[in-house]
Structure 1
Amino acid sequence: MQSSDPRHFFETDAEQQTRERRAAKSGNKYGNPIQLKSKILAAVVDPRSPASSILVAESAGTVRRVNISSDARRDRSLASVTTGLYRGPTTPVACVAVGGLSQNTVFAGAWDKTVWSWDLETKTPGRKYVGHSDFVKAVVCAAMGGKYYLISGGADKKIMVWDIETGARLHTLQDSEVNMMSLQDLVVDHASSTADEISLISASSDPHIRRWRIRADGWEQVVEPDPSTPGTEGRTIVEHETTVYKLALPHPGAGEDEEVDLWTSSGDGTAKCLSRLRGFTCDDTYQHGDHVRAVAVTRDWVITAGRDENVKFWNRTSGALHCTLEGHFDEVTDLVVLRGQNGQGGPVCSVSIDGTVRTWPLQAAALDALVEEQKKTEVEDDADEKAEVPANLLSADEEAELAALLEEDD
């Protein structure tokens, strides 16, 4: 009989402790968890319901449209929150995007080296984009010259540009001078794009962040003066020590400087703000610790999350850590800021390898209340643990018998 139970295989003490800790932590209700059926590898806002819905990429090979509004998740059942399920891949889905005409097409990059697509509303399968020779790990959409394009990045170290309507591959982008490793993330820089040119920023498993200009008839990698060495040019932005997992441009309404600075998260344990006005050099550093898999930015907060399972809120003005929220019991893979009411940001959703979607407020008072709730729960748990340990395991008669035996030994 075969088993997948880790307790039936050899485990180190550290692995056993991690498994036991996660099992004990899995029942917590912080962040009003929605439990899905598989690991969640990425998430994006649903453009049709930006205040209450997200799309998530699952390791089970599906994209799921999840309604995170309080009414929908009151009973926390999967059926009550799932408003769309997009099937097709038989391998994990690593990334998801929505784009095309009227923002009506869901795109998903999978481990099968393919980008899949579906109609957002009808869930009807659409075109498949085949060309990568390894996992597809990032997808974004953009318009150029009145047409809509899909851009994908893979573990094969290539960025591919596709005509969404025809499925034709226009360009394959690669760095010919500085070795580019597996792609991790792509973001369209709308502040630098024009009607006929897409400005793209990419992150990969190396520390280098690259900028690209894409046109219908060609592309080029952006080479600009290196601010650290006057008189020289730089092909890449290097502000981290290792893998850059995530790139973020501020959420609309996040502040007067929206879409100016670039925010990054890295395996070096930090998230950073790279100032556009200073040639994308580091302006602020947030020492999250361990691998930082995701970063999100609002008017008031910089939010980071990653391998340590925690979600951290930093004051955007002062850079100080405001609070650390627990809840997830495995690595957090993505953060998504919903639009909120009247175009304002909030709340923020976190998704994780633990298969849960959790929702956190953006108001300082609400965050402080959550911190106090978690502290209170920790104190109660400590008290319960102490209460479970009996002060004396022996009865009065057994105590007397033990005393007599000790006397005989003397």
Structure 2
Amino acid sequence: MLQSDADNYFQTSDSVAEQKRRQAKADNKNGNPVALTSKILAIHADDQDPDAVYIAEAAGTARRVVLETGDKSTVYTGAAAPLTSITTLRSPSAEPILFAACWDKTIHSWNLKTRKPIRRYTGHSDFVKCVLATEISGTPVLLSGSADSSIIVWNVETGRKIHTLKGHARAVLDLALDPAKTTKDELFLFSADTVRDILRWKITLDSAGQMLAVPLRVHETSVNRLRFEDSLVVDADDADADADLWTASSDKTAQRLVRSRDWASDTTLSHPDFVRDIVIDQQAGWVITACRDEEVRVWGSSSGKLACVFSGHFNEVTGLALMPPAQGSRASRVVSVSIDGTLRVWTLDPAEMKKVQEEYERLQQGIEVEAEPEVKKESMLTAEEEAELAELMDSDDE
């Protein structure tokens, strides 16, 4: 049934109710939100500053955000389309660089210090979905995965292609280096796509190819994120704990694939909606997931049990970054970003998480204090771009 209210023409009763629900929820201060004027599509921790992150926005800007102060004035501009992924490269042979995958089929790059654009990497024939930067034999390289189903390895300094990897049948959604096998001269890369395939590659400056013809298939549909455990902090006496792989999927699960069992899954974390991202606090024993249902969840990595739900976002959570403890604390933090245009910071202190979970359970039982709805922010995208962005997000889950 359509509403007769002139402000809600052509909207169903359900869509109007959902809009009102989000407006009411938008006023909450959980996670000390930092508000942006655009949808946030990706996040990357600043490896030189334990209190800062980089974010990619649908408005085509990249930005550095300081967590303690909320300062968001360091902006990288030049792209005219949504940025879908972001990463940095700090090399002894070059100035530090920020890279952002873009909807315009290219990768944009900036000098991290001066914020001046460096170059655009052009070669994909569709949206660039993911980027990763590293070195091979002392040469800075950029790896990009695209909706055109290819992965390109670029020479950062020249902007030229080193390799083009073909093997995926659909869009490539994420890339991750195996920390237990990658060396200074060889990259061991895992890549994931919208079909559900996870492929493995061995890459040098002179050659690149799939390690095995048969892909890993543990999910029913799109694999949105690949995250390895840190092989440097695992117990050396535990042969089974050597940089296992965690995955996040649109089949509404996150899974752990065990290296010593030929990447068989031994843990499944079930969610009510698509799982968009996953990070691992291995020393504390936590796995944190981002879900399309607006929630951030913390799980025991050994037990697979849900420990806490961080509720505050009022639209899909798109990315997570694990951060060191704040000054005066010993617990790590997780930063989440969302389509709602906010960045939020959550502590992984067990005592604080217990309080948060108790409050969350009370709210689920209906003991809720209504908040004054705030005025909905105007999007920086046109109606057509909004629809196209929604289609882009949903296309990963077909």
Q: Same fold (TM over 0.5)?
A: yes
Are 1:153 and 2:145 an aligned pair? yes
Which of 1 and 2 has greater Rg? 1
The residue type paired with residue 182 of structure 1 is: A
Shift of 1:253: 6.7
Instruction: Call closer, same or farther: CA 1:26–1:381 in 2, change over 3 Å.
Output: farther
Shift of 1:180: 2.1
- In the alignment, what sits opposite 2:61? 62
- In the alignment, what sits opposite 1:227? none
Q: Which range moves more in the overlay, 192-201 or 148-157?
A: 192-201
- In the alignment, what sits opposite 2:382? none
- Does the 8 A contact of 1:142 with 1:188 survive in 2? no
Q: What is the distance in 1 between the residues matched to 2:64 and 2:242?
A: 27
Instruction: Call closer, same or farther: CA 1:242–1:376 in 2, change over 3 Å.
Output: closer
Instruction: Call closer, same or farther: CA 1:365–1:173 in 2, change over 3 Å.
Output: same
Partner SS state of residue 17, structure 1: helix
- In the alignment, what sits opposite 1:53? 52
Work out which of the residue numbers 301, 321, 329 in structure 1 matches 2:286: 301
With normalisation by structure 1, the TM-score equals: 0.82
Instruction: Call closer, same or farther: CA 1:249–1:83 in 2, change over 3 Å.
Output: farther
Work out which of the residue numbers 185, 188, 206 in structure 1 matches 2:195: 206
Work out which of the residue numbers 164, 177, 180 in structure 1 matches 2:169: 180
With normalisation by structure 2, the TM-score equals: 0.84
The structure, 1 or 2, with the larger RCO (C-alpha pairs under 8 Å, 6+ apart) is: 2
The residue type paired with residue 318 of structure 1 is: S
- In the alignment, what sits opposite 1:248? 227
- In the alignment, what sits opposite 1:389? none
Deviations 1:182-201 (A, max 9, x none): 11111122211122111111
Instruction: Call closer, same or farther: CA 1:40–1:142 in 2, change over 3 Å.
Output: same
The residue type paired with residue 240 of structure 1 is: H
- Does the 8 A contact of 2:46 with 2:54 survive in 1? yes
The residue type paired with residue 196 of structure 1 is: D
Are 1:319 and 2:298 an aligned pair? no
List runs of 5+ in structure 2 lacking aligned partners: 372-398
- Does the 8 A contact of 2:286 with 2:298 survive in 1? yes
- Does the 8 A contact of 1:199 with 1:212 survive in 2? yes
Are 1:337 and 2:322 an aligned pair? yes
Instruction: Call closer, same or farther: CA 1:332–1:251 in 2, change over 3 Å.
Output: farther
Deviations 1:289-346 (A, max 9, x none): 2100011111221111111111111111211111222100000001100133699772
Shift of 1:60: 0.5
List runs of 5+ in structure 1 lacking aligned partners: 74-80, 224-233, 386-410
**Structure-to-structure mapping, 1:101-180, within 5 angstroms:** 101-102=91-92, 104-175=96-167, 179-180=168-169
- In the alignment, what sits opposite 1:390? none
Note the aligned Cα RMSD (angstroms): 2.4
The residue type paired with residue 249 of structure 1 is: F
Instruction: Call closer, same or farther: CA 1:217–1:310 in 2, change over 3 Å.
Output: same
Instruction: Call closer, same or farther: CA 1:277–1:83 in 2, change over 3 Å.
Output: farther
**Structure-to-structure mapping, 1:11-90, within 5 angstroms:** 11-49=11-49, 51-69=50-68, 72-73=69-70, 81-90=71-80
Deviations 1:221-271 (A, max 9, x none): 011xxxxxxxxxx52100000000011112577643776101000000000
Instruction: Call closer, same or farther: CA 1:259–1:100 in 2, change over 3 Å.
Output: farther
